[in-house]
Structure 1
């Protein structure tokens, strides 16, 4: 049991005997008797959990997560709760990012960028508990006024990740970003379909076989550049089965480990063979000459595109990958295409698939074919009846005449009417 004492100065103190049978004191200051009684009840529950080494009940755990830092520090000082990590925004973000040793360098950069934008708006010394849902809405509005939808969407998703982690660590009682709706990251203005004529012009402007293969693997293989290209090895090219194994660092945390098989499409084979024939014995990587951290394929591709007499498209390598997925999706089931490209159907529909000019041309021409089909079906139907009747030997002579009539009607484009007299 715990007790409450009141000093001459009106300050109240809660005292209790801990599991080591030592008397401990928690000074509340000038607290009302009602507040002191409420805190005493929670102290008793916390102390009982410590003595019995049992987990806290939900009510006590919720109360601990909601109290202020000052009272939490006093409870931690007497061993009733663990010392609370800093809930100042800047400190928490730094510690969270430092703990995430499992993320890729690009993900870490995205986390750092989100941290900078949160700190710019709220300040590093802002207690996370004081950030309300309304504050989160104001931050999102501030973000959208300064950045494109794609950037704002990615940043908002990272902010939700930060605050969700703080709730799970019981550093804050609730998630102020729970109802924040990140803007869509799909930017239609940056979608671009790189047609085959443009691809041919770029290939002709490439300086050598390896650059032609780099471009072909992106445009006709749908590979991510540079991450997937630079890991591609000759040992993973299965010439007999017409496929090659691609490893995607971006998705290696998935169940498949980021590995997928991609067909050696007809557009790829000559370029693969050309580079293979030029490779020295023992060469490991398919892209052998252009490697290293200082190599800027983007700048080189921009020069090649200008040399081809074209204007660079918005997203140099992603647009190539998206163009290939759009082509394949028109020919194969989407789940098959996604397995080859290495993304999900949802991502493909949101960020990759496009409506092309050839879609309109094909749709316009399909109407003419549909108009011809009913007439062709009528001819086919009548002649089918003739064929069925010819099976009966006794009708063979009569059917020979009817067959001639049917053929004549087809040849002259006159709809068949049967043998009944015209009225």
Structure 2
């Protein structure tokens, strides 16, 4: 409990904070009323107790903090660590602060930003949906679980472009994490989004397959060897585009042993066979790199590179735009999510010839991930299944004829019954 006193012509409020330090709030020449003094003393005492004991701030005190937001009193309380950091009380301020921390300050074990540029781009879409519905000036502690449910229903409506279940689940997952952090920091009473359901984040309808013939048609519409190699590494090598290809150097190729070492981008480094489709395009580019004395780097894809915010050399979106344009010219304008579905197409081709254990090692993911995100029955497999069923039906209808037409090493014209008669005559 604090006390009010007059220091000359200035009215002040003095109290002891959670660290045992004496703090003073200056009210100038305006004397607070008896009701205002009691209200301030009660709320500040509650804030000190919560900060000392790690308790949550009561709703009535949260309402008072909303009223004094931006005032000199609120700034002083934030400076002394009794309330949230300055500039994180409203939704817009909190999300701006959180994005700044994730991108510019917080680092992972390797010293990189917690959010990659691609992750930040996806999170911006979620942020925009929050701001569009709740508005920037909405106090974060005033968002209730009921408000969160209404926001979810709004996402599912036709008012947004992201009304697919997989996309909505990703938005909900991000928002639950963001407000969970605010709840752990004691900036809000509870996480209002924690009860929202997270459904499957896989849209099976958007898992597509590009046949080798269609891939050759796309390659024919690519006019640059670098663009062709970029496409082939994704379609016939299954590399993640563009992250793994961006880190690929000529030192990772072993043309004598026919192996290709994939540098770590999303998962750990791995080694896979240098498939013939990749070798044909990579060899010519490798010879061109050896003949070009002006190049100081050994990047496999050296065109359309840029420097990202972490100071790393990455592949720009220009090469992706050229690839999408070639797909459109090849009649594949409906080939959604080309970066992932090229890898999907490679996975579905290789699983027919490579054992499961080796395939997951080459592709850099588990069997569970492959079944959930990559595996898809192709048209050729449907045709093969139908052919096998037709042959099985014919054998069931004519079992005697199918047995008579089987041949062995005794001669192309001798059936099983003929072989038995021959054995009896020789005996």
TM-score (norm 2): 0.68
Secondary structure, aligned partner of 2:54: helix
Instruction: Name the CA distance, whole Å, in 2 between partners of 1:210 and 1:78.
Output: 55
Instruction: Name the CA distance, whole Å, in 1 between partners of 2:178 and 2:201.
Output: 19
Instruction: Name the CA distance, whole Å, in 1 between partners of 2:187 and 2:144.
Output: 15
What is the CA distance between 1:90 and its match in structure 2? 1.0
Query: Pairwise mapping of residues 261-300 of structure 1 onto structure 2 (< 5 A)?
Result: 261-281=271-291, 284-289=298-303, 291-292=305-306, 296-300=318-322
Instruction: Name the CA distance, whole Å, in 1 between partners of 2:217 and 2:2.
Output: 86
2:261 aligned to 245, 260, 278, which one?
A: 245
Instruction: Name the CA distance, whole Å, in 1 between partners of 2:43 and 2:303.
Output: 70
> Hey, what does 2:126 align to over in structure 1?
114
Q: Is the 8 A contact 2:14 2:22 kept in 1?
A: no
1:410 maps onto 2:404 in alignment: no
What is the CA distance between 1:125 and its match in structure 2? 1.3
Secondary structure, aligned partner of 1:244: strand
What is the CA distance between 1:248 and its match in structure 2? 5.2
Q: Is the 8 A contact 1:24 1:78 kept in 2?
A: no
Deviations 1:283-318 (A, max 9, x none): 512223454566622332244345556655223332
> Hey, what does 2:311 align to over in structure 1?
none
> Hey, what does 2:107 align to over in structure 1?
none
> Hey, what does 1:99 align to over in structure 2?
101
Decide whether aligned partners of structure 1 residues 180 and 339 sit closer, same or farther in structure 2, where only a CA change above 3 A counts.
farther
What is the CA distance between 1:140 and its match in structure 2? 1.4
5+ residue gaps, structure 2, are 5-12, 26-31, 67-72, 105-112, 307-314, 404-409
> Hey, what does 2:7 align to over in structure 1?
none
Instruction: Name the CA distance, whole Å, in 2 between partners of 1:22 and 1:329.
Output: 70
What is the CA distance between 1:411 and its match in structure 2? 4.2
Q: Is the 8 A contact 2:272 2:362 kept in 1?
A: yes
What is the CA distance between 1:65 and its match in structure 2? 7.0
Query: Pairwise mapping of residues 11-410 of structure 1 onto structure 2 (< 5 A)?
Result: 30=35, 56=52, 60-64=53-57, 67-68=61-62, 70=64, 77=77, 82-85=82-85, 86-100=88-102, 101=104, 102=113, 103-145=115-157, 146-148=160-162, 149=164, 150-182=166-198, 184-247=200-263, 249=265, 251=266, 256=268, 259-281=269-291, 284-289=298-303, 291-292=305-306, 296-305=318-327, 308=330, 313-334=335-356, 336-367=358-389, 368=391, 410=416
What is the CA distance between 1:177 and its match in structure 2? 0.7
What is the CA distance between 1:320 and its match in structure 2? 1.4
Q: Is the 8 A contact 1:237 1:243 kept in 2?
A: yes
Decide whether aligned partners of structure 1 residues 82 and 340 sit closer, same or farther in structure 2, where only a CA change above 3 A counts.
farther
Q: Is the 8 A contact 1:298 1:316 kept in 2?
A: no
Deviations 1:66-87 (A, max 9, x none): 6426369789749985332232
Give the structure with the larger helix fraction.
1
5+ residue gaps, structure 1, are 6-13, 50-55, 380-403, 419-423
What is the CA distance between 1:363 and its match in structure 2? 2.6
Larger deviation, residues 349-358 vs 325-334: 325-334
RMSD: 4.4
Instruction: Name the CA distance, whole Å, in 1 between partners of 2:34 and 2:84.
Output: 21
Tell which structure's C-alpha radius of gyration is larger.
1
Deviations 1:227-249 (A, max 9, x none): 32232110111234432222354
Larger deviation, residues 180-189 vs 317-326: 180-189
